Amino acid sequence: MPDIDWPPTITPELGESADDVAARLADAVADRLEAALQSRDRASMAVSGGSTPRPFFEKLREKPLDWSRIDITLADERWVPTDSKDSNERLLRETLLQGAASGARFIGLKQRHDTANAGQPLAEEALSQMTWPLDVLVLGMGNDGHTASLFPDAPEIDRALEESLADRCMALHPASQPQPRLSLTRSALAGASWIALHLRGQDKMDTLETAIGDMNAVRDMPIRAFLSTGVSLFWSP
C-alpha cells in the first residue's frame, strides 16, 4: 500500500483489488443516494467514463434504490456519436443503466449539433433539469492531472476553472486529445455534496502524489481543485 502523508482533505479508501474497491465505492455511493432520497424528492449524480469505473457501474446498478427518482449525468463527454466506442454515454447505457437502474433519468451531454460549441447551450438547458448541487460526484484522473475534461492544455481551461462560473458545462478543445469535449465546469463539479476519486494503478498513485505536492497550482493539474476541498479516494493497484 502507498505510504503517503495524506492531507486532511483526502480520505483514502485503498483496496487490494479493483473489484474490492468497486464494491466499496458502490456501497458508499448507494448510501449517499439513499440518504438524499430520504430528504427530498430526487437525488443527483455525475460520473466519469473510462475503463476504471466499469465494475463500479455494474455493482451500483444492483443496489435496491428508487432509481426513478435519481438523475444521472456525465462529468464529461467526447463529442462523438453516442454509439461510438469512445462515447461515455454508450458506456453508461451498457453498464450502469441496466435492469432496475435503467429507470434512472439520464441526462446526456452529447447533442445533435456538429460541434461541442454549438451543442453547449442545449446541454446547459438539459442539465438545468437536475437537482443542483450534485449529491454525488465520481471523478477519475489522467496522468497529466486532468479530471472530467478539464485538461491543462485546453485553450478554454482558465474559464472552465473559474470558481464562480455560472455555466455548468463548457466546450473544451485540448491539444492533446483527438476529439473536442464537453465538460462540467469546476464550479458545477466542486459544489457536489460528496466527491469520490476512483483510480487504479501505481501510475495514477504517482500522479496523485505529484498533485498533492503543490495543491495551489490548479491550472497545471486541475484535479487539485478538488483535492484541496475534500475527496474520498478509492484506489486499487
What is the model's pLDDT at position 72? 99
Residue 199: helix, strand or coil by DSSP? strand
Alpha helices in 146-227 (DSSP H): 157-160, 186-190, 202-213, 224-227
What is the model's pLDDT at position 79? 98
- Given CATH 3.40.50.1360, say whether it is the number of domain 28-236: yes
Contact 87, 77 (CB under 8 A): yes
What is the model's pLDDT at position 122? 98
Q: What is the pTM of this model?
A: 0.97
Dihedral angle sign, alpha carbons of residues 126, 80, 159, 231:
positive
Per-residue pLDDT of the chain (237 residues; tens, 9 = 90+): 678 899 999 999 999 999 999 999 999 999 999 999 999 999 999 999 999 999 999 999 999 999 999 999 999 999 999 999 999 999 999 999 999 999 999 999 999 999 999 999 999 999 999 999 999 999 999 999 999 999 999 999 999 999 999 999 999 999 999 999 999 999 999 999 999 999 999 999 999 999 999 999 999 999 999 999 999 999 999
d(CA 226, CA 112): 31
d(CA 125, CA 146): 25
Structural domain spans, the chain: 28-236
Contact 51, 88 (CB under 8 A): no
What is the model's pLDDT at position 2? 74
Question: CA of 174: how far to CAs of 164, 167, 222, 227, in Å?
Answer: 22, 19, 13, 22
